[in-house]
Chains A and B, each alone.
Chain A
Amino acid sequence: MVNKQGQTRLSKYYEHVDINKRTLLETEVIKRCLSRSNEQCSFTEYKDFRLIYRQYAALFIVVGVDDTETEMAIYEFIHNFVEVLDEYFSRVSELDKMFNLDKVHIILDEMVLNGCIVETNRERILAPLLILYSECVDSDL
């Protein structure tokens, strides 16, 4: 998840990449996506990966996959993810993500496990988070 200025807001790896190589990788990936216009298609190749990206206001969500995935399915999965965030944060913004990074991670973990899509149903994705959150509130009281 990257903003228009090229700052990474959230990144998650399902294959091992050296920590010090990640920054370089992310920079290159972001550059690749930012340099593309709206008229261009949302798929591009980067080294051995295919990048699939979508833009929401000033935020880009980029997914790198190997050739075992279907572009269109991932493309729509990004939207599903954004809808889940939207529902949870009620109209999600970049700030929401910055200050609730833990929750975004939990949501993503519910949806993607070990690099595989596992859950796509909105209520089920949010259920654990809602319960966790309500218990937190309870214990705070």
Chain B
Amino acid sequence: MPAVSKGDGMRGLAVFISDIRNCKSKEAEIKRINKELANIRSKFKGDKALDGYSKKKYVCKLLFIFLLGHDIDFGHMEAVNLLSSNKYTEKQIDSMDSVKQSAALCLLRLYKASPDLVPMGEWTARVVHLLNDQHMGVVTAAVSLITCLCKKNPDDFKTCISLAVSRLSRIVSSASTDLQDYTYYFVPAPWLSVKLLRLLQCYPPPEDAAVKGRLVECLETVLNKAQEPPKSKKVQHSNAKNAILFETISLIIHYDSEPNLLVRACNQLGQFLQHRETNLRYLALESMCTLASSEFSHEAVKTHIDTVINALKTERDVSVRQRAADLLYAMCDRSNAKQIVSEMLRYLETADYAIREEIVLKVAILAEKYAVDYSWYVDTILNLIRIAGDYVSEEVWYRVLQIVTNRDDVQGYAAKTVFEALQAPACHENMVKVGGYILGEFGNLIAGDPRSSPPVQFSLLHSKFHLCSVATRALLLSTYIKFINLFPETKATIQAVLRAGSQLRNADVELQQRAVEYLTLSSVASTDVLATVLEEMPPFPERESSILAKLKRKKGPGAGSALDDGRRDPSSNDINGGVEPTPSTVSTPSPSADLLGLRAAPPPAAPPASAGAGNLLVDVFDGPAAQPSLGPTPEEAFLSPGPEDIGPPIPEADELLNKFVCKNNGVLFENQLLQIGVKSEFRQNLGRMYLFYGNKTSVQFQNFSPTVVHPGDLQTQLAVQTKRVAAQVDGGAQVQQVLNIECLRDFLTPPLLSVRFRYGGAPQALTLKLPVTINKFFQPTEMAAQDFFQRWKQLSLPQQEAQKIFKANHPMDAEVTKAKLLGFGSALLDNVDPNPENFVGAGIIQTKALQVGCLLRLEPNAQAQMYRLTLRTSKEPVSRHLCELLAQQF
């Protein structure tokens, strides 16, 4: 109480306080207080009007009595009178309000500094109650505090919803009279309204129907007001109004449950898109971006496509254009992908340098995501390289190679298209790289046409050779050696090129080595060996697009600045997209090595004579800085630690594993000698598995030893205890092995089962993948549609979602699909998806260390015989992994 401490008189107060302090007993204190209360009451009631000083003194005394814990039932009017006084020292007495306000914000500061320091519980009710305070400043401060606190303890502060709604409703409907002071250019309390709307965005829609009704009414009022003629022509009026409007729209988008409001919001934003104020256009584009992801308003957003494309072309502000590009990206779907991609490509020709790379990534992603025919995809990417070659990062052109390699229906087209693209007198080096790689792999597919006969292909590529960087030249050398294999007629020409002093004695070690090795390989190896070594690249393992990972990184917080040096981009470990961060991936010198799937693929089983060259070819992307690729690198050694050198899993291992993703019992493996059956059950994070080994022959197996191996750091993720089995299995007999399994944390690779025995003296070895996949630890969760959508929205970060669109491999039968999804472990939720054809599921993966909530949605398209599968979980690798596992089941 600053006024008390100030030596401005009020002796009576000081005397009273010292009297109280000197009281020997509780009774004496009460007696003294009662005496004083009687005195004050008589003064307040007395005929004589009190002056400001006396009023202040008595109110102070009352306050002091109140602080001692006694009830005060009078004097409020006098206190209020002090507030309206024009003397500051008198006014300050009533400034308890400003104390509350400061206290609230101070608490907020403390909480931000150290959240654990602030105890929850007893005073949450008091904090929430501040929303009812008469003083608007207190309410404003309280809203800030609650908005921050409720993020961590949403349940504790749940009561704030109804208070916030009623406060908001009173403001919006201008029903309360205490707003006079807080009306800003005819807009009642704009900043408080914005804050209240923000607070409500911490919660799902109110459960109480009455509260919800009142809130919806508020939101409608705000939307209505936007259509009414303005009460003032002043820009301040419309600015304040629009501030509320934008926050209202944010809340509507957050709830994502009122189709009517969503569409109205979309129309309102559509109006803003053509507003003459740049600020409004910018904000409208931004808001619409989030609106596009709601299924209720996606279609409504799409109707504005022409306006947005126009904005992309005509806006003078680069940040507005960027928002327009973002929105186009967000509103893109199969129906308008071609239009949007072509518009973005056109824009790219004139786009600002600052945003070119991002646009390139977006185009590349859209082209891949919505590609119906892959020739369109190839065209698009080649166009990208042609228009903005400098901004096409490695990820983009790696990706086109992956896709072409994996899809044989597009390979011929790709070869033809790159061949044509390379005809251009000046083409970007990235085009040469893509062209070199594709022709080296699939040049044979167009060799029949005399216009693109092998010698023509070669001389076309070689005409670019001398202008290219070392990395590209290294790649082209690999193309040449592949040509020798594909087209024996080019052998002499190519050998001459390799033999030339400029290659064989090149100053660059990498080029020199390639030239020497390839030349020797082509001269000493027989056609068969050559054909084996230079075989077509195997398909790349399917995984998340590395481009998507890159776009996410770009969107992450700005890195490398002096101000946030302590901060790390959480996704930075994800450079290679899809590999668990093991020590080896972190230390990998070149991302391209991983792109080629070195780690995922089993060690090449090439004959020892050509192993060196084989590795070199695999290494084709590695620039000169890459480490020598002869012999296993330290990483490879690390990754195949197999205790007692167990062999790689048999080729069918993955297929066999897939059969068990949705079921627990069955025959895991069978050949002429041995049958392995599986029975298993899982509960929470534990599981028990029975393996039955049947000897199908009439001869005894000796030294029979099945063991379970944890590759990589699976050991820390999954514990499997096995019991030893008898070393002999008689002919026709069956032995049983029990495995106890505990899931410690989420894992991506299954353990391996290695079975070794001697049959008739000959050693037999077999490695299988044990059918333990992460989905076995699923616990189905039932929930209502509303909860589902709320959770779905909570997992809306791009990295939390994994999506796959794929062709049906089995007849599309709803009942079978249902059974598979249930077998997969999730609960099936009815009446959640508006489209009854779709399947929606939810579950929790139980591990010892953590639980991972999973939501899934499967949309069959019977016409196209395709599925779209979307997984959202709180852990990125889990989403992707589950998506891959499940996609193979249909």
Chain A interface (Cβ within 8 Å of chain B)?
A: 17, 21, 24-25, 36-37, 39-45, 47-48, 68, 70-73, 75-77, 79-80, 113-114, 116-121, 123-124, 127-128, 131-132, 135
Contacts and interface: CB of A to CB of B under 8 A. Distances in A.
A127 B250 CA distance: 35
A77 B194 CA distance: 12
A119 B191 CA distance: 9
B8 to A, nearest CB: 11
B238 to A, nearest CB: 10
A42 B141 contact: no
Interface stretch (B71-79, B240-248, B252-260, B582-590): B240-248
B766 interface: no
Given A40-B319, A113-B101, A47 B141 contact: no
A41 B106 CA distance: 34
Contacts of A117: 140, 191, 195
Nearest to B239: A76
Given A73-B194, A118-B101, A135-B88, A42 B279 contact: yes
B182 A120 contact: yes
B236 A76 contact: yes
Contacts of B557: 47-48
A75 B101 contact: no
Given A25-B563, A116-B105, A39 B190 contact: no
B442 interface: no
B583 to A, nearest CB: 30
B279 A47 contact: no
B16 interface: no
Contacts of A128: 88
- By Cβ-Cβ distance, the 6 closest A-B pairs, closest first, are A131-B88, A72-B243, A40-B317, A73-B243, A116-B144, A41-B282
Contacts of B283: 43, 71-72
Contact of A70 (B109, B246, B320, B562): B246
Contact of B198 (A42, A68, A79, A118): A68
B102 interface: yes
Contacts, number: 116
Given A47-B557, A70-B194, A118 B140 contact: yes
29 contacts: A37-B316, A40-B278, A40-B316, A41-B278, A41-B281, A41-B282, A41-B319, A42-B279, A44-B319, A47-B557, A47-B561, A47-B564, A48-B558, A70-B243, A70-B246, A70-B247, A71-B246, A71-B283, A73-B247, A76-B243, A113-B102, A114-B109, A117-B191, A120-B190, A123-B181, A124-B137, A131-B87, A131-B88, A135-B88
Interface residues of B, number: 48
A15 to B, nearest CB: 9
B564 A41 contact: no
Interface in B61-117: 87-88, 91, 101-102, 105-106, 108-109
Contacts of A124: 137, 181
Interface in B304-360: 316-320
B105 A68 contact: no
Contacts of B195: 117
A114 B108 contact: yes
Contacts of B137: 118-119, 124
Interface in B212-257: 236, 239-240, 242-243, 246-247, 250
A24 B562 CA distance: 9
Interface of B: 87-88, 91, 101-102, 105-106, 108-109, 136-137, 140-141, 144, 147, 181-182, 184, 189-191, 194-195, 198, 236, 239-240, 242-243, 246-247, 250, 278-279, 281-283, 316-320, 557-558, 561-564
Nearest to B201: A68
B271 to A, nearest CB: 15
B110 to A, nearest CB: 10
B106 A114 contact: yes
Contacts of B239: 72, 75-76, 79
Q: Which of A17, A25, A117 has the most CB of B within 10 A?
A: A117
Contact of A127 (B88, B108, B147, B236): B88
Contact of A79 (B109, B194, B236): B236
Nearest to A77: B191
A14 to B, nearest CB: 9
Nearest to A120: B191
Contacts of B190: 73, 76, 120
A53 to B, nearest CB: 11
Given A68-B198, A72-B246, A43 B181 contact: no
Q: Which of A25, A40, A45 has the most CB of B within 10 A?
A: A40
B317 A39 contact: yes
Contacts of A36: 317
A72 B197 CA distance: 14
B243 A47 contact: no
B182 A116 contact: no
A80 B563 contact: no
Contacts of A118: 101, 105, 137, 140-141
A31 to B, nearest CB: 14
Contacts of A40: 278, 316-320
Contacts of B278: 39-42
A72 B242 contact: yes
B595 to A, nearest CB: 31
A79 B236 CA distance: 8
A42 B319 CA distance: 10
Contacts of A48: 557-558, 564
Given A68-B198, A120-B182, A39 B316 contact: yes
A118 B141 CA distance: 6
